[in-house]
Amino acid sequence: MTNSKNGKKTTSSENDSSMLHDFFIDELKDIYWAEKHLVKVLPKMSKAATTQELKDAINEHLEVTKTHVSRLEDVFGLMNKTPQAKKCDAMAGITDEGDEIVSDTEDGSVTRDVGIILAAQKVEHYEIATYGGLVQLAKTLNHNDVADILYTTLEEEKQTDEKLTQIAEDNINVEAAQEVAS
């Protein structure tokens, strides 16, 4: 396939060897690691949570996250690549912070749930930033099929973030404010 942009003729095979294409694949490896890591971390977060409402929300997002992993595998396939994960230091750092929050808060307290929500929203915001950027890059690289898949995940991350805000504002923050420090 040949297309013409800015008066320059490029072929799709030339596009596939561009620096931007390689960068895009590298970023896919990063978010693939992050999503797979979350599949391991979310059950621990759910177990540590105090309220059933938060446990349910995290468990629900665990199932959604498994879908994100398999969607990325589809994306690698569409890019003619084998799925490969590369450690995402940012996500590792955010989840380490989540672990610290759990160990710094009292077992069975609603304050712990406030902390878990805060950590979980940092995760979602990292994912939103990543998928938002990747959707744009996929479009630039003329991979609209890939952009559509990544956009679906982006919307799910946004919904999760909103749901967490709702749980915090409707109940958990208010309940935690009544807890007396020991």
Enumerate binding residues for Fe ion (CB under 5 A). 65, 68, 127, 157
Between 15 and 69, whose beta carbon lies closer to Fe ion? 69
* Per-residue CA distances from 10 to 1, 5, 14, 142 (Å): 9, 8, 6, 12
- Shortest-Cβ-distance residue relative to Fe ion: 68
Between 91 and 172, whose beta carbon lies closer to Fe ion? 91
CB of 1 to Fe ion, least distance (A): 32
Between 46 and 65, whose beta carbon lies closer to Fe ion? 65
CB of 142 to Fe ion, least distance (A): 25
CB of 68 to Fe ion, least distance (A): 4
CB of 2 to Fe ion, least distance (A): 36
Between 45 and 110, whose beta carbon lies closer to Fe ion? 45
